[in-house]
Amino acid sequence: MSGVQGYNPRTGAAVGEAVPETSDREVDALARAGAAAFPSWSGLPAVERAAVLDAVASALDASSAELVEIADAETALGVPRLTTELKRTTNQLRLFGEMLREGSYVEATLDSANPGIIPPRPVLRRMLRPLGTVGVFAASNFPFAFSVAGGDTASALAAGCPVVVKAHPSHPGTSQLTAQIVSSVVPAGVFGIVHGQQAGVALVKHPAIKAVGFTGSTVGGRALFDIASSRPDPIPFYGELGSVNPTVVLPQAAAARPEGFAAEFVGSLTLGVGQFCTNPGLVFAPESLVPALANAVSAAVGGPMLNERMSDSYRSGTEGLAASGLAALVASGTAPAEGWSVEPRLYQVPLSTFAENLEKLTEEHFGPAAIVVTYTDPAELEPVLPRLPGTLTGTVHAGEAEHDAAGRIAESLRPVVGRLVFNGWPTGVAVAWGMHHGGPWPATTNPLHTSVGATSIRRWVAPVSYQSWPDALLPAELREGNPLGIPRRVDGVLGVH
């Protein structure tokens, strides 16, 4: 049987044993086990699911050293970053536990009867309930936070959905160890893991799978979205795909501190060797800022990418950009002479050329490369920005006297952007109520949803209404007297009642 082999990006050498690819029969067994576990898992009181999520978090924290060691061997992302990422992951699990205890995520809604209106209203009770077993495709670039026990898994488990994860082939050992830890805590059938591309396809097609979460490339995500959408019974597919993350630097902000700005930019660009969905790959700046940006990129040091394919793809993509004659290479950093390392790169193109070749120049080149698009007057940007492909983030840097212009730029960006950042950087995605990590196609396959933050749980729950239903037969969330003490909407009014 073929297997999924992890490699050390610093050396190209194999790490550990290959993990066997999961057969269609095994996928079937895991999906069915999820379906069998669904009634009991979804039927647990939310506070009990919260306790399980907390226990998963504690178990992962307790194995931090071991998890980080194998993840570093398989990804070369470094011990400090990976230690922080694991902590982010366990805090994320705990956030969902807090949400379950707060209870408003079910949107409990109580309407009294009104027979006198048209149409007449019976007694109605509405809440969100879990969809069923969920498939989760782990990402390459976050071996913890967007992987086996990452945000998709945490939010789906919190919702009451069993999860079957398709592991990413760049870190099979990390994935297996994480899966063992999760499995040791959650009830049987609630969690499973599969390996191999064919297993992923089988998972999306399986009748017991009711929704899918995915973080990865536009090409891979689109292929799976098409499979999910063309099932006899189409299911929701939430893909977080590519993103160019435009950053607009207004003239005063550019002039105020070019070197400081350039240093921050390069910090964001090269974080994790540029392997962030929110990597600032497209900068709109006055020509005067280019030397500082070029200097900073020249001084920057790259590193090994997660796998050989990504490294090759970064090289060929960026070289294709220069060969197209549309963008000029203005700076190139260095890279350690090891494994799959790549160097940071900066390209330049005038706004007019960019506007004429927008589709070609907004292809994502995953890694530490950026294009600086030079403009003269910020007003020239307003017709161009709404034409950008959908993107997770849009950033504006503005001086004190440029707030009005920043507002206009933001309005131009808003239709294509999920998160607007002011005088900051798009990398670093907070796990919070107020986070939206999403955006229009191709940033995601569904602009209504986020894959990070409290509201990511929405992807896995659907409403059900109970009409004239006996109180004793209702879920506790909907009973008279609000026995759980959760926020509810009663006759249209939100409150703890």
Which positions are annotated as active-site residues? 240, 277
Should residue 494 be labelled a site residue for a copy of itself when binding is judged by CB under 8 A? yes
Interface with a copy of itself in residues 162-201 (CB under 8 A): none
Task: Give the nearer residue to a copy of itself in terms of CB position, either 44 or 329.
Answer: 44
Pick the closest to residue 157 from 192, 114, 124 (CA basis): 192
Q: Give the x/- contact pattern for a copy of itself in 33-62, rule: CB under 8 A.
A: ------x-----------------------
Q: How far apart are CA 360 and CA 344, in angstroms?
A: 20
Name the 3-class secondary structure at 109.
Answer: strand
Task: Give the nearer residue to a copy of itself in terms of CB position, either 291 or 469.
Answer: 469
CB of 177 to a copy of itself, least distance (A): 21
Contact 346, 331 (CB under 8 A): yes
Among 423, 476, 480, 485, binds a copy of itself (CB under 8 A): 423
Distances (CA, A) of 145 to 67, 153, 469: 13, 10, 41
Should residue 101 be labelled a site residue for a copy of itself when binding is judged by CB under 8 A? no
Task: Give the nearer residue to a copy of itself in terms of CB position, either 248 or 335.
Answer: 248
Distance of CA 71 to the CA centre of its chain: 19
Interface with a copy of itself in residues 107-136 (CB under 8 A): 107, 109-111, 117-122, 124-126, 129, 131-132
Should residue 29 be labelled a site residue for a copy of itself when binding is judged by CB under 8 A? no
Kindly indicate which of the ranges 53-61, 305-313, 364-372, 468-476 contains the residues binding a copy of itself, using the contact rule CB under 8 A.
468-476
Residue 124: which residues within 8 A CB-CB, separation 6 or more?
109, 110, 111, 465, 466, 467
Q: Give the x/- contact pattern for a copy of itself in 202-241, rule: CB under 8 A.
A: --------x--------------xx--xx--xxxx-----
Q: How far apart are CA 339 and CA 86, in angstroms?
A: 25
CB burial class (10 A; 0-12, 13-18, 19+) of residue 7?
A: buried
Task: Give the nearer residue to a copy of itself in terms of CB position, either 119 or 481.
Answer: 119
Kindly indicate which of the ranges 84-92, 267-275, 288-296, 367-375 contains the residues binding a copy of itself, using the contact rule CB under 8 A.
84-92
CB burial class (10 A; 0-12, 13-18, 19+) of residue 301?
A: middle
Task: Give the nearer residue to a copy of itself in terms of CB position, either 315 or 458.
Answer: 458
Among 12, 45, 407, 485, binds a copy of itself (CB under 8 A): 407
Q: What angle do CA 74, 150, 419 make, to 5 degrees?
A: 110
Among 5, 11, 58, 84, binds a copy of itself (CB under 8 A): 84
Task: Give the nearer residue to a copy of itself in terms of CB position, either 234 or 267.
Answer: 234
Contact 96, 154 (CB under 8 A): yes
